Structure 1
């Protein structure tokens, strides 16, 4: 009997994951990035686009050019150092703009052959969770963000974070 329950649970999970992927809309941002959203993303500022799915989960992307000169020291032209300083500024800005979320430390991952910098935070008031993946390509920063309400599956979030492609 437990084996049957386990099998049913797996089949339901696979069905939910497959459902999360149906009817998503691919949108192109600048000339490099294409992202799959659950619905057409709406532009809410010069560099920010968001979409919401039927569960109330909010998906967003922020595309920001990096002004390398702002992060270079007079004695260094090291692009790694520039990226680290840029990420410090970005993470500090995210934490400042989201004071209700306890955001953890940055984690480095590899998604779609891109090095990503991930953050996760929880809002203690409403128990919602924010997930952020940042990646840098040439002189552009891409931040993928997902706000998941309490008690909602993260299948759509997982699909969103893996559902981007970069044109060469």
Structure 2
């Protein structure tokens, strides 16, 4: 009986997420990664796209950093270093330079769909909540973040991340 209830809950949850994203706009980052935004994203900085929920309580931010283009570092050089706490710490320090009012937890290093991933949460002095998810494919770092206003529905924090699709 518990398995049946769990299965039903999972199906309902998956259907509600899929339904919520049927009108979202697909954004193709490159030949490997695409994701969906709830509204048309705007490129604010080269490689960084931002959109907001229709009620503007959530900002969705997607960034691609090509280490080969920006720092001359290829995937071979990144590979032995990307799973270390030092690398995650450098990512955090880089992010905090552009978000000085955010208190960010240390990144948790993991694996997502076979790729090295990083997650963290934070809060700024205006009580906005930051949910950061990043992963590395080759020499590119993909960052998928949701920034929630204090009145935003916390259950929607993972909707954006769930739209990420990887192709071979």
* TM-score normalised according to structure 2 size: 0.76
Aligned residues: 153
Change (3 A) 1:77 1:118: closer
What per-residue deviation string (whole Å, max 9, x for no partner) do you get for residues 90-122 of structure 1? 211112221211111111344445432011101
> 5+ unaligned residues in a row in structure 2: which ranges?
1-8
What per-residue deviation string (whole Å, max 9, x for no partner) do you get for residues 125-153 of structure 1? 32110111110000111011111001211
Alignment correspondent of 1:4: none
Alignment correspondent of 2:67: 66
Alignment correspondent of 1:98: 99
- Aligned-partner Cα distance in 1 for 2:73–2:33: 24
What per-residue deviation string (whole Å, max 9, x for no partner) do you get for residues 2-50 of structure 1? xxxxxxxx9xx96975663241111101111100111121111211111
Alignment correspondent of 2:117: 116
- Aligned-partner Cα distance in 1 for 2:63–2:107: 18
Alignment correspondent of 1:7: none
Query: Alpha-carbon deviation of 1:163?
Result: 1.1
Q: Is the 8 A contact 2:92 2:106 kept in 1?
A: no
Q: Is the 8 A contact 1:103 1:122 kept in 2?
A: yes
Q: How does 1:1-168 map to 2 (within 5 A)?
A: 17=17, 20-56=20-56, 57-67=58-68, 79-81=79-81, 84=84, 86-123=87-124, 125-168=125-168
- Aligned-partner Cα distance in 2 for 1:115–1:34: 17
Q: Secondary structure of 2:136's match?
A: strand
- Aligned-partner Cα distance in 1 for 2:60–2:156: 9
> 5+ unaligned residues in a row in structure 1: which ranges?
1-9
Q: Secondary structure of 1:122's match?
A: strand
Q: Is the 8 A contact 1:112 1:162 kept in 2?
A: no
Q: Secondary structure of 1:141's match?
A: strand
Alignment correspondent of 1:5: none
RMSD of aligned residue pairs (Cα, Å): 3.0
Q: Which has the larger radius of gyration?
A: 1
